[in-house]
Amino acid sequence: MKFISVFFLTSALLVALLLGFVYSIDPYDKYQINVFGFETKAVALARENKFNMLEHSKTGYEAFVIGSSAAHRLHTADVEELTGLRTFNYAVQQTTPEDYLAITKHIFSKRKPKLVLLQLDLYALNSNFKTDTRFYTSPLYKFLSEESRPTAETPLIDPDYVSVGAISDAFKVIWVNATGTVKHLYLEDGNYHKEKQEPNPIKVTQFAYENYQLSQERLALLRKLRALCDENGTRLVAWTAPYSSEHYHRIEADPKVRKVLEDFKASLARIFPELYDFTNAGVDAYDDTEYFQDSTHPTRKLFRIMLEDLFGATAKNPVWARRL
């Protein structure tokens, strides 16, 4: 009994110390905590990075990619080859339609694009999926009108901070500030840095659809996004995000989650005239880490195939997109 008590006490103390360490660093700048006076967090401030890249760029971008981290690997060179339009990838992490509308407004404040490519993730329309607190502290927040601005809700314990990744990123913040070196996530035109291929099988991640409630407020924001594109004569191409074969079939195997997916697609189809479905069994042909980094993050190679589907190139692979 004494051993068990000591074990649990030691474990609780270790967890508390690790949480205290992560929160004191605040690697994702969610709580605006800066105990050690660091000059930069420089880990995951994607919204600031992408905002500043476009804000100060003189490149005549004509096409833009909008989406969550799942759209990071869509490479602008592939879009340019297939459309002839100079492209900027404005995808950022952990996004919701609040981000998408603000990003679109920022784009139109700087450019008059001919094409907007919008990837829509199932989780992003869940009213129980909270807006990332980093959105509220980013320069994008000011682009939402007062009536559209959500109120920040910062949880006492953020799930992102209870992870090995957060501990690793906290050490990265220390290293960056100690050495004065910053490794940026994004390359020219907003492209994501190159990643090594993961071993098979594809790891299933972010499979969290319990208590899903389709947000009417977020659907209203998407309608505003579409209206903005219509007003400016911009072609808007939207699609449902691809998930790996196992991820998709887990959704299909659960009647409640399958109904969630059906409602999600039907709701989007009422908003977007040009909407394509990649959340279907066609993904079975790409069940390999050559095509997925994990179950919710496609690789550049898969996005290339998707773009060929969307823009009518002669595809060497099975055509998989379905027009909704």
Mean pLDDT of 249-258: 96
Over range 247-257, report the average pLDDT.
Answer: 96
Predicted confidence band of residue 155 (pLDDT cuts 50, 70, 90) = low
| pLDDT reported for residue 29 | 62
Least confident range of 38-42, 253-257, 274-278, 298-302: 38-42
* C-alpha separations of 16 from 160, 169, 295 in Å: 16, 18, 31
Q: Where are the alpha helices (DSSP H) in the chain?
A: 2-25, 46-55, 76-83, 97-110, 133-136, 164-179, 216-231, 245-253, 255-269, 300-311
pTM: 0.80
Range in 19-33, 121-135, 301-315 with the lowest mean pLDDT: 19-33
Confidence of residue 242 (pLDDT cuts 50, 70, 90): very high
- What percent of the chain has a predicted confidence (pLDDT) above 70? 87
Among 126-135, 278-287, 295-304, 311-320, the range scoring the smallest mean pLDDT is: 311-320
pLDDT digits (tens, 9 = 90+) for 172-184: 777 777 776 666 6
Mean pLDDT of 130-142: 90
Mean pLDDT of the region 162-171: 75
DSSP letter assigned to residue 204: P
Q: How confident is the model at residue 7, as a pLDDT?
A: 72
Contact in structure between 257 and 206 (CB atoms under 8 Å): no
CA 270 – CA 117 distance, rounded (Å):
17
Six-digit token string for 89: 């990838």
Backbone angles phi, psi at 150, to 5 degrees: -75, 160
Q: Is the dihedral angle over the CA atoms 218, 224, 227, 233 positive or is it negative?
A: negative
Question: What is the C-alpha separation between 116 and 87, in angstroms, rounded?
Answer: 9
What residues does 98 pair with on adjacent strands? none
**Could you give the percent of the chain with pLDDT greater than 90?**
59
- Poorest-pLDDT segment among 127-136, 256-265, 287-296, 310-319: 310-319
- Angle (CA) 275 278 280, round 5°: 125
* pLDDT (0 to 100) of residue 46: 84
Q: What does the block give as tokens for 44?
A: 């995951």
Alpha-carbon torsion 20, 22, 24, 30, what sign?
Answer: negative
d(C-alpha 230, C-alpha 228), whole Å? 5
Read off the pLDDT of each residue in 261-283 and give the average, rounded to a whole number. Answer: 97
pLDDT of residue 219: 98
What does pLDDT average to over the chain?
A: 88
Q: What is the Cα Rg of the chain in Å?
A: 21
Environment class of residue 57 by beta-carbon count within 10 Å: exposed (0-12), middle (13-18) or buried (19+)? middle
pLDDT at 93 over 60: yes
Q: Which residue has the higher pLDDT, 18 or 231?
A: 231
Question: Which residue did the predictor score with more confidence, 27 or 199?
Answer: 199
Helix/strand/coil percent split, the chain, to 5? 50, 10, 40
Task: Lowest mean pLDDT of 66-70, 235-239, 315-319, name the range.
Answer: 315-319
